[in-house]
Structure 1
Amino acid sequence: QVEQRHYLVSKAVEEVQKIIQQLTVEISDKATRFQAISNSGIHNENIKVLAPSQFLITVPLRGLTGYRECQVRHWRYYTVHGAKLLSSVRDPEELHQWLEVEQFSKSHQQWHETDVNIEGDLVPAKVLIVFRELVEKSITSCNLSSKVTVLESFSSVVRVAVETSESQVEVELVPAVEIPTCWPEKARWPRCLKRWPSQEKVQCIKSLGFDLLARSNYHWQLCFSRAEHILMEGLDEDGGCRMKCFRVLRQMKEDVWCAGNKPVITAYHLQ
């Protein structure tokens, strides 16, 4: 069953990747702020398989380089539509943060425009509105209407249904700021007095940086997919069988604990 799952998921990833790459190339042609995903096989770092029929794909943002952490805290008094508020917007939750365009030493002029920027902040909800419009237009302009459908959503996230040869896959498309140069102070990892991973491994992983994902209205979500990938690769360096156990648990989750297309627990939770 584990081997059969691996075959089906690999096939789905290959098909979805090809379609979404075509879509994002079209989006990138229309708006240079968005970068097309690469077509690099089943181990594409932009694709995260949450369940066999549920993927998350990050779409890199261009024109923002030289990131540095913001040291000064200040309050925000605006809605995502730019209206004034009497009380401040709530603080970010853990592993979320505000993102100011001035945190980048180099930023393209497009990121200063009001379609994505309010009072110097890059606002995820506004980025997602622009992105959704581009997705809808690009599906039509590159003749993908028979394969890709934009799904209705109660939030600002962009979800599409992609038809593959075997089944339909729900894909969340997430604009992402890639920051490969530093590790955020908010991410206090690893915990003190832990023997695993080694200090050398920790430094290697932290050098890979992190991403900021547009998945909510005001705050950007910190993501460590590159670090997680390296950690999972080295899971059995001591000769253990943790990866085999993980795959069996994942199969149990999908067949017994959380059967269906909308799992409460995803493979990400098991990691």
Structure 2
Amino acid sequence: MSLLQEENEEDPSFISEFVRWGSFNDMLLEPVKVNEKFIPDTFLKHPSCTKNASLLITDAEENETTFLIRPFVRQHYLTDFSYSQAKLICNFSQQYNWGYLDSEILSEFLHREVCIPRSSTKKVVLNVMPKMLNVLKVVNTQDPRFSSELVISGSYNDKLQVSEPDEFDFLVPLKDFPKIIPPCLPEHLAKSDTVPLVVFPLKAETASPFSWEAEDVSDPLRANEYLVNPIKVMCIFKKYVQTAVQHLELTDNITVCKHYQGTPALTLIVQQGNTKTKVDLVPFVKDPYNYWHLAWPREGSKWPSAEKIEECKMMGVDLVAKNTVFWRYSFSRIENFLLESIDADGGCRKDSLRILKKIQIDHWELQYKKVLASYHLKLTLFWACEKHPNSSSWSDLAMSFRRLVDCLIGHLSKMHLPHYFVDEVNMFRTDNDSKVKLQELCEEVKKLKRNPKYYLSTEA
């Protein structure tokens, strides 16, 4: 096994990490020969290296190899390592400032605090789904442009729910939308995730009061061009939903909430006895463009696979209402597709994300919900997967969780989290108050890194 013997005991997490990495039986070392090499700077810069320390690597036959760590002095007593030995030292170097953490602790937390009984989720779904489908059927009879289909979205569909099932997101497809050419935008818009939605009129013989160039949902732009107005679409959708709720005599069970401009969802509160469930209905334009026009994937990216990328492109980017003029790109269907099989190799990516989401809700949401939402964590996972595309990087729960948290700290420290599919867009708020909050949150996440057991214990 491997041990760290260090005279300075001011930082217990420094010691525990060495013990942690020394516990792998498959890393037992063969007898080694000492050669001259230098100690990586990461050893020397660690704050705990204030006194001399020795790392003892001992193989199954009790043969020891020792190299000294002296602060700010490069020593030349490192060995010629085999592959397994090099892997051990690499892990030690990369993880030197993590507190003690192993997969057993994380797995116990996952099953104790994160997993939701399927029975409770099923009960809520059986209450909500039939009501929503009935409402949309009535909406569709009023205006066939709104589909009666419900596309399940959000954390429930991604299988990432970590709290009681009291929120559901549904996409409502807008029907009979003509395929359009991606617009040529000025530079300041080309680097955003919002676009105008311009349609051309249908042929006269097929035109109807429910076409997308009709006055109730669009504004004239130029000759034979109409701008589909997001505000008009959301207003008319809300009117139809309210009428449907009244028609179905569900006003005692369903409350239609006020719609705020710039919000792509119409929120309903569905009540069953003492249980209230929040439901977001999001009208969306499914794959309106006649080709994939975004600069994704990035050159040299090895995740996701080429096959998955082609399937994503075939699914296409969707649009949801944003404000008076612009629609916003939506990648909900693509994100769900990627998450569906993200751990087909037996990895622990999803479990790591669910654990981090639970910690975020329990410890950070109250103070930092304006700067860090669950969607930020999902994007962080995608970036971490692209940075570490190999299956071996995610085969262990503790290793996976470390990678995800380290990736989050990296983005928080830079106050920059690019959208995974439109990387010119920073998903973090950049006003002064948000910057202060992001800095504070970064320090909080570093506390998780130094002392994960506190956040994973029942008493926390």
Q: TM-score, normalised by structure 2?
A: 0.48
Q: Deviations over 1:233-271 (max 9, x none)?
A: 2212333211111222222223333269x8864433221
CA distance in 2, matches of 1:266, 1:196: 24
Contact 2:353 2:377 in 1 (8 A): yes
CA distance in 2, matches of 1:202, 1:64: 25
CA distance in 1, matches of 2:334, 2:349: 18
Q: Does 1:115 align with 2:216?
A: yes
- The 1:140/1:221 distance shift into structure 2, 3 A limit, reads same
Match of 2:330 in 1: 223
Match of 2:344 in 1: 237
Q: Paired residues, what number?
A: 247
Alpha-carbon shift at residue 17 of structure 1 (Å): 2.0
Structure (1 or 2) with the larger CA radius of gyration: 2
Matches within 5 A, 1:147-158: 147-155=253-261, 157=263, 158=266
Match of 1:177 in 2: 285
Q: Deviations over 1:15-55 (max 9, x none)?
A: 322211111111001111111124xxxxxx43324874333
CA distance in 2, matches of 1:179, 1:104: 18
- The 1:224/1:21 distance shift into structure 2, 3 A limit, reads same
Matches within 5 A, 1:154-169: 154-155=260-261, 157=263, 158-164=266-272, 167-169=275-277
Contact 2:268 2:279 in 1 (8 A): yes
Match of 1:251 in 2: 358
Amino acid at match of 1:210: V
Amino acid at match of 1:116: V
Amino acid at match of 1:170: K
Alpha-carbon shift at residue 213 of structure 1 (Å): 0.9
Return the structure number with greater relative CO, CA threshold 8 A, min gap 6: 1
- The 1:47/1:103 distance shift into structure 2, 3 A limit, reads farther
CA distance in 2, matches of 1:63, 1:209: 16
Q: Does 1:100 align with 2:198?
A: yes
Contact 2:174 2:283 in 1 (8 A): yes
Q: Which runs of 5+ in 1 are unaligned?
A: 39-44, 75-89
CA distance in 1, matches of 2:203, 2:345: 42
Alpha-carbon shift at residue 130 of structure 1 (Å): 0.8
Match of 2:445 in 1: none
CA distance in 2, matches of 1:116, 1:122: 6
1:48 paired residue among 145, 154, 157:
154
CA distance in 2, matches of 1:156, 1:58: 17
Contact 1:156 1:215 in 2 (8 A): yes
Alpha-carbon shift at residue 4 of structure 1 (Å): 2.3
Q: Structure 1 residues 101-110 or 22-31, which shifts more?
A: 101-110
Percent identity over paired residues: 27
- The 1:257/1:104 distance shift into structure 2, 3 A limit, reads farther
Amino acid at match of 1:254: I
Q: TM-score, normalised by structure 1?
A: 0.78
Q: Structure 1 residues 211-220 or 149-158, which shifts more?
A: 149-158
Contact 1:66 1:104 in 2 (8 A): no
Cα RMSD (Å): 3.1
Match of 1:13 in 2: 125
Amino acid at match of 1:102: F
Match of 1:211 in 2: 318
